[in-house]
Amino acid sequence: MYDRQNIFAKILRNEIPCDKVHEDEHSLFFKDINPQAKIHVLGIPKEPCVDFADFINNYSGDKVSNFFKSVELVISNLKIKDEGYRLITNSGVNGGQEVPHFHIHILAGEKIGRLR
Ligand code: AMP
């Protein structure tokens, strides 16, 4: 069940600010407030989806495709393709998801270490 009071829902409703990187009709990208790399951008679909599985299973192929094309566009705009980047999405307790609105982390700008 989607929690409409989660912090990313509030950002989408412009109730709290964000450091916007890119926005289009179906997605919003903004800088992570607690960056884990020199470049740390979060990308979210505008749909009320809790996590990766919710987004993939409950929204149209067009919406899913549009979102991931926007992820790729932002990667292009950030000019991080050549040096490389890491995409992460956390889900559930074991994944360490803190904000229950599906999001992709884009990490770049330096070598991203191994998880352990
Ligand atoms: P996750 O653990 O995958 O749910 O990641 C949630 C991310 O959201 C964390 O990296 C937080 O630093 C980030 N975050 C939380 N609140 C904000 C905010 N208001 N603006 C930008 N990033 C945020």
Residues 37-51 pLDDT 10s = 999 999 999 999 999
Ligand 1 pocket test, candidate residues 13, 50, 88, 99, most atoms within 8 A of CB: 99
pLDDT for 60 equals 98
Helix or strand (DSSP H, E) at 12 = helix 7-12
pLDDT for 22 equals 98
pLDDT for 115 equals 86
**Does 26 qualify as catalytic in the annotation?**
no
CA angle 95, 49, 102 (to 5 degrees): 35
Give the total residue count for the chain: 116
Q: Measuring CA to CA, which residue among 73, 97, 69 is closest to residue 22?
A: 73
- Report pTM: 0.98
pLDDT for 73 equals 98
pLDDT for 18 equals 98
- Residues of the chain predicted below pLDDT 70: none
